[in-house]
């Protein structure tokens, strides 16, 4: 029996999915039937609010900026993974994503050094889009 290839991909948020060009790519992937996920080093709203000391900070959810973008793109909130500052490769291990797109060289290096079972692609390199497309073929 032939194994069905995953249709799930993962994006970092800060300095990655908050970029317009990456958002357009994510929208196209959704249109093409892929499950687009966000895997961010951020904590969830509760974790961040515990760290906040400014009462004004509670006017909006801690991840308000992230939710604006993911809502605009069409990524359901159940597809947002908050790692709470844990290495992303440990959270993504075994999840069957076709790739994870990120800007953090340390995250990418740690994934490679620890044998992550999916490619971590650096959005800061000029060929990031080609590498992503190659990973989903």
Is residue 1 a part of any domain in this protein?
no
The pTM (predicted TM-score) of the whole model is 0.88
Quote the pLDDT of residue 46: 73
Distances (CA, A) of 86 to 39, 40, 41, 82: 11, 9, 7, 9
Is residue 88 a part of any domain in this protein?
yes
The three-class DSSP label of residue 4 is: coil
Quote the pLDDT of residue 74: 97
Q: How far apart are CA 110 and CA 18, in angstroms?
A: 23
Q: What is the CATH number of the domain that holds 60?
A: 3.40.50.1000
State which residues form the domain around 43.
8-136
Quote the pLDDT of residue 2: 47
The three-class DSSP label of residue 11 is: strand
Quote the pLDDT of residue 1: 47
Q: What does pLDDT average to in each consecutive run of 10 residues of the chain (137 residues)?
A: 72 98 98 98 77 59 89 97 94 94 97 94 98 96
The string of DSSP letters for 15-30 reads IIITSHHHHHHHHHHH
Q: How far apart are CA 128 and CA 125, in angstroms?
A: 6
Is residue 3 a part of any domain in this protein?
no
What sign does the dihedral 104-108-113-114 (CA atoms) show? Answer: positive
Is residue 129 a part of any domain in this protein?
yes
pLDDT in tens, 67-78: 999 999 999 999
């Amino acid at each position: 029996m032939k194994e069905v290839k995953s249709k799930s991909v993962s994006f970092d948020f800060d300095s990655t999915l908050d970029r317009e060009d990456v958002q357009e790519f994510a929208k196209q992937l959704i249109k093409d039937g892929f499950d687009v996920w966000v895997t961010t080093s951020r904590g969830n709203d509760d974790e961040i609010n515990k760290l906040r000391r400014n009462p004004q900070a509670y006017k909006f959810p801690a991840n308000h900026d992230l939710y604006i973008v993911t809502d605009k793109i069409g990524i359901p909130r159940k597809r947002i993974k908050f790692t709470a500052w844990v290495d992303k490769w440990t959270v993504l291990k075994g999840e069957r994503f076709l790739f994870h797109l990120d800007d953090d060289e340390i995250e990418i290096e740690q994934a490679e050094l620890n044998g992550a079972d999916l490619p971590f692609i650096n959005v800061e390199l000029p060929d990031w889009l080609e590498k992503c497309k190659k990973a989903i073929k």
